[in-house]
Structure 1
Amino acid sequence: MPHPNARLTVHGRRLLIERVRAGRPVAHVADEMGISRTTAHKWVRRWRAEGDAGLYDRSSRPLTTPHRTPADVENRICELRRERKLGPARIGPILEMPASTVHRVLTRHQLNRLRWMDRPTGQVIRRYERGRPGELVHVDIKKLGNIPDGGGHRIMTRQQATGNRQATTDARQGGSPVIGYSFVHTHSHRRPHPARLQRDPDRAYVRPYSSNAERAEALADFLHTYNYHRCHTALGGQPPISRVNNPASQYS
């Protein structure tokens, strides 16, 4: 990003090069554009050496940082974070370092937020978006316990839940109070329907439900919110529907 008081933007630098290439003296062009001859010659030299890429601002980061935390210490900080899930206030005393320094190291390695990590492995979760439909297909299967009519043990006592299980089983097929399971498939489709762009099985545990039908009704509302309104970091803050070029019924 150019300095806020800079005379030249990238467009201005291109204009400078065009005028110089037209055969005009660099000193005259510099005077017209309100910059010094030294600055004008600098951009001309960069353009001749690097082409159009040389007209963009370079990083102001120093080539060397003598006082940066050594690499082996940074690795040790990252290991403690991944393996023991410790924060800066606890890692600091272990390594005899200020907590603020530990926090900067964790931020540099994108480990400063535990929610960004896969808890079992300690690896940073990388969100991504594929270039074209069907390039990569994910299939996840989640096993969900069916809910007896009237509710299960999450919203009432075990005795009441057992009674509901028996009543639901008797009403359906009879026998012992076994409700069974449902399986939810999460997948990406080659030509996604807007209402099926993504299913989140963990939605089933957001709140307790009194029956399978109630949970199924809540899922439909969640799918709409997830696909049309929820911001996704992998999509630059946009909902999944923004990546569908021709949703169903768009041109009907």
Structure 2
Amino acid sequence: MSHRNAALTPRHRLRVARLVIEEGWPISEVAARFQVSWPTVKRWVDRYLAGEPMQDRSSRPKSSPNKTSKKTTKRCVSLRMRLREGPIQLAARLGIAPATVHRILTTARMNRLCYVDRATGEPIRRYEHDHPGSLVHVDVKKLGNIPDGGGWRYVGRRQGSRNRAVTPGKPKNKWRNPKLGYAFVHTIIDDHSRVAYTEVHNDESAVTAVGVLHRAVEWFADRGVAIERILSDNGGAYRSHLWRDTCEALSITPKRTRPYRPQTNGKVERFHRTMADGWAYARCYTSENERRDALPDWLHEYNQHRPHTACGGQPPFSRLINVPGQYN
């Protein structure tokens, strides 16, 4: 493809050459007609006579004597995976320029440490199932309940402690401080579309997890998605017989991640981070009920309006076809 400032596109270059060779036009007249110089027309005529294409030639040299050797490149990648050091440290070990190390790591897609698995040092392998419902991820996010008047994140620790003390209906610990408890956010997210279903409960028991699964299956079914497999961590609720029997009754294949390997369930883990930034800690809530009431609106925004990089800059619902209310 020609550059944006080229006077002649490949199609016009071919036209120029044919006017001179096949129709006998003088080179000077062709140059005047296409507003280019005489040598430019001559160059494309010679290319045409030699049987060469009219596309731009690569500016890459035929030989690069000073090119970094394959041995050095492999050693650079190996050290990056094993030591997780930056370009300056690796350059000192290899005896090459830091810019060269950065170029090697960029080519290998290892220029950022977030691209490399912390446990093994190997590049992160990303996957995505080919259709909605083929696999969904499930997990629970634990959040501290907000006292009446606001939590310490926004009002400060001193005022936050006062708000905790005056929050009614809460049991006391041995220091006479109220125990606000936790909110457990149960999330089921589709691997292909990133469409998420979320509920907030006061526990993470197997009975609660099974109830969330039943309602999520109905919610996805209303949107034309049939859940085939579900991936969870090794929490007690997901290792229970109740969870196994429920999945069997719903014709869903349950799968669990390897212990101490949350990266396998990374899509729902990343969603919980987005949810924490966009909803849980996005503003000052004056009570826990106010925060929970704000979840449906934020979830609607996430599913149907918020651009998602994994969906090509489109919202997750864009990957579901003919869903009622999809564009509301």
Matched, 1:185 2:188: yes
Q: Is the 8 A contact 1:147 1:211 kept in 2?
A: no
1:107 alignment counterpart: 106
Specify whether residues 11 and 39 from structure 1 end up closer, same or farther in structure 2 by C-alpha distance, changes over 3 A only.
Answer: closer
Q: Deviations over 1:94-134 (max 9, x none)?
A: 2232222212222222222223444444444577888xx72
Specify whether residues 137 and 79 from structure 1 end up closer, same or farther in structure 2 by C-alpha distance, changes over 3 A only.
Answer: farther
Question: What's the TM-score, normalizing by structure 1?
Answer: 0.62
Matched, 1:203 2:274: yes
1:81 alignment counterpart: 80
Specify whether residues 84 and 211 from structure 1 end up closer, same or farther in structure 2 by C-alpha distance, changes over 3 A only.
Answer: farther
Coordinate RMSD, CA, aligned: 4.9
Give the letter aligned to residue 43 of structure 1: Y
Q: Deviations over 1:21-68 (max 9, x none)?
A: xx824x527554324344223135446xxxxxx433232212332211
Q: Is the 8 A contact 1:141 1:185 kept in 2?
A: yes
2:91 alignment counterpart: 92
* Distance in structure 2 (CA, Å) of the matches to 1:112 and 1:219: 38
* Distance in structure 1 (CA, Å) of the matches to 2:289 and 2:47: 71
2:137 alignment counterpart: 140
SS of the counterpart of 2:137? strand
* Distance in structure 2 (CA, Å) of the matches to 1:67 and 1:139: 50
2:176 alignment counterpart: none
* Distance in structure 2 (CA, Å) of the matches to 1:136 and 1:46: 53
Q: Is the 8 A contact 1:127 1:234 kept in 2?
A: no
Matched, 1:228 2:299: no
Specify whether residues 216 and 250 from structure 1 end up closer, same or farther in structure 2 by C-alpha distance, changes over 3 A only.
Answer: closer
Specify whether residues 65 and 181 from structure 1 end up closer, same or farther in structure 2 by C-alpha distance, changes over 3 A only.
Answer: same
The runs of 5 or more residues in structure 2 that have no matched partner are 32-39, 172-178, 197-219, 224-266
SS of the counterpart of 1:36? helix
2:46 alignment counterpart: 41
Give the letter aligned to residue 39 of structure 1: W
Give the letter aligned to residue 202 of structure 1: R
* Distance in structure 2 (CA, Å) of the matches to 1:121 and 1:148: 36
Q: Is the 8 A contact 2:44 2:54 kept in 1?
A: no
1:58 alignment counterpart: 57
- After superposition, residues 26-37 of structure 1 pair within 5 angstroms as 28=25, 30-34=27-31, 35-37=40-42
Question: What's the TM-score, normalizing by structure 2?
Answer: 0.51
Amino-acid identity (%): 25
Specify whether residues 44 and 229 from structure 1 end up closer, same or farther in structure 2 by C-alpha distance, changes over 3 A only.
Answer: farther
Q: Is the 8 A contact 1:92 1:102 kept in 2?
A: yes
SS of the counterpart of 1:167? coil
1:24 alignment counterpart: 22
Q: Deviations over 1:182-215 (max 9, x none)?
A: 431111468x79xx99972223443547637615
The structure richer in strand per residue is: 2
Specify whether residues 45 and 149 from structure 1 end up closer, same or farther in structure 2 by C-alpha distance, changes over 3 A only.
Answer: same
* Distance in structure 1 (CA, Å) of the matches to 2:324 and 2:47: 55
Considering Cα pairs closer than 8 Å and 6+ residues apart, tell me whether 1 or 2 has the greater RCO: 2
Residue 15 of structure 1, CA deviation = 3.0
* Distance in structure 1 (CA, Å) of the matches to 2:323 and 2:29: 53
2:170 alignment counterpart: 167
2:67 alignment counterpart: 68
Q: Is the 8 A contact 1:142 1:183 kept in 2?
A: yes
How many residues are paired up? Answer: 231
Q: Is the 8 A contact 2:145 2:181 kept in 1?
A: no
